[in-house]
Structure 1
Amino acid sequence: TKADAVQAPKGGLSDQKTALAVPKLNQEAVAAGTADIDAVSGATYTSTGYKQSLQSALDQAGG
């Protein structure tokens, strides 16, 4: 029903990329209901980490 990134890359360009990418990733995760979501262009590092963390959380929750 909801997805929130609790930690994201910080510093320099990462702040800008994170500000743009994380809301999109949260939205996609909720819509998809899985960690199988598209990466945000220009934020590959953030997207990859997000997807891995989301999959881990789903695994731990039994989802």
Structure 2
Amino acid sequence: MTRYGNVQVQITVKDGKITAAEVLQVPWNDRHDQMINSEAVPVYNQEAVAAQSARIDVVSGATYTWDGYTQSLQSAIDQANL
């Protein structure tokens, strides 16, 4: 949960590695949310796969999304026992 809404991340794991990350839920309430998250989410998804962890850089202007994303990503990583 973020200040603006929920963020939920799903990962795909193969042979003990994250092969994909995708957002199932992200704040999309208004044009501001849509503008920020349409740019930030693809970056976060790519960073998650590249980093193989929840230690990813924040996209400027998308700090709340980053906070929710990294928390959900870490939860998914923990559930996958990575």
Q: TM-score range by the shorter chain?
A: over 0.9
Root-mean-square deviation (CA, aligned residues, Å) is: 0.6
Q: TM-score, normalised by structure 2?
A: 0.74
Q: List runs of 5+ in structure 2 lacking aligned partners.
A: 1-18
Find out whether 1:9 has 2:27 as its counterpart: yes
Partner in structure 2 of residue 54 of structure 1:
73
Identity %: 56
Would you identify which runs of 4 or more consecutive aligned residues in structure 1 move more than 4 Å? none
If each structure's strand is expressed as a fraction of its own residues, which one has the higher value? 2
Structure number with greater CO (CA < 8 Å, separation at least 6) is 2
Equivalent pairs counted in the alignment come to 63
The structure with the larger Rg is 2
